[in-house]
Amino acid sequence: MSAIEVEHLCRDFEYYEKESGIRGSVKNLFHREKNIRHAVKDVSFDIKEGEVVGFLGPNGAGKTTTIKMLSGILHPTSGVVRVNGFIPWERKNDYKRQFSFVAGQKSQLWNDLPASESFHLNQCIYEIPDTQYNNTLEELVELFGVKDFLKVQVRRLSLGERMKMEMIAALLHKPKILFLDEPTIGLDVVAQTNIRAFLKKYNKANKTTILLTSHYMRDIEELCDRSIIINHGSLVYDGELSTICNQLSNRRVINLSFYQVIPKHILEPFGSVTEYQENKASLEVENDKLTFVSQKLLNELPIADLSIEPISIERGIASLFSGKEV
């Protein structure tokens, strides 16, 4: 059963350009040149109930715009969206109780009040019965280990503690759909690990459908089996992360450091130079040439250190961002 269905989704934004200076301001009063930016262009995908999907793309690719349309914040220019059978921008109360939207850079909590007060406000908004509210809150607080911080003003919490409170506030009404927009941004490694562990456990226990955007590849690798990648508003990949890894497995990266400065053109015959500094470089080499190239490098150049590693999944996704085949 599909939880999210998106067909030919488009969203355009109008904007105006203005020349600088007083002359430009006066001219702008009588004539403005209107431009259109295609933020999302003909995007289609389908997400099944209980699936955790990574939604990836560079800054400005259209990820947040798409999620805002799925949550009903924005109306599309054209296209069809159904989330649990609802059309999001109709904003029916029954639909609002079906999802939560957590953004790492925006807060739904009141900064000058303890988080517990915001939790109680959400209870009233979503009309959660007292017994269900108390049981859910107790469960979430125990999972996150934040019992001692419930009565502390939100602005006095660390970023990691605040994000845990944001997650609790979003999950009090037990949504079936969870939209997460950079939920671990700015968090330290420990806090990121805790958030990921919680989401994994929560998804397994409740079969919650999760659409996750993140620039931290560890979030995607640990939580998602499937990724949807968009760039310049268009979908460029929809499939398993393992497929990208498999297509990259026929190449390796050789990391080099030298005792002296080596010009870049000397390295180019050995393989594709992906990174270069005066005394450091990285080469991309096919597997069947790896032994030969490594030996040749050691024999012909003043190598201080040499290491070989697989091509990272980040590089494969970066290739998709640029519209190249992996």
Q: Where are the domains of the chain?
A: 2-7+46-245, 249-321
Tell which residue, 279, 287, 323, 325, has the closest CA to residue 305.
279
Indicate whether 320 pLDDT > 70: no
- 293-313 residues labelled b (16+ CB within 10 A) or e (exposed): bbeebeeebeeeeeeeeebeb
Which CATH number is associated with domain 249-321?
A: 3.30.70
pLDDT of residue 314: 64
Indicate whether 251 pLDDT > 90: no
CB 224 within 8 A of CB 241: yes
pLDDT of residue 7: 95
172 Cβ contact partners less than 8 Å away, ≥ 6 residues apart: 119, 122, 123, 126, 128, 133, 136, 137, 140
**Averaged pLDDT for residues 192-204:** 87
Give, in order, the Cα–Cα distances in Å from 63 to each of 31, 231, 250, 292.
Answer: 33, 9, 31, 43
Tell which residue, 67, 51, 325, has the closest CA to residue 203.
51
Indicate whether 193 pLDDT > 90: no
Q: Is 232 exposed, middle or buried (0-12, 13-18, 19+ CB in 10 A)?
A: middle
Indicate whether 326 pLDDT > 60: no
pLDDT tens digits, one per residue of 26-47:
777 777 777 888 999 999 999 9
**Averaged pLDDT for residues 298-302:** 91
Indicate whether 137 pLDDT > 60: yes
CA 45/CA 125 separation, integer angstroms: 32
Q: CATH homologous superfamily for 2-7+46-245?
A: P-loop containing nucleotide triphosphate hydrolases (3.40.50.300)
Helix (H, G, I), strand (E, B) or coil at 279: coil
DSSP letter assigned to residue 312: P
Q: How confident is the model at residue 325 (pLDDT cuts 50, 70, 90)?
A: very low
CA 227/CA 53 separation, integer angstroms: 5
Q: What is the mean pLDDT of the chain?
A: 86
pLDDT of residue 221: 82
pLDDT of residue 106: 78
Q: How confident is the model at residue 245 (pLDDT cuts 50, 70, 90)?
A: low
Which of these ranges, 30-34, 76-80, 120-124, 162-166, has the smallest mean pLDDT? Answer: 30-34
The two domains 2-7+46-245 and 249-321 share their CATH topology (first three levels equal): no
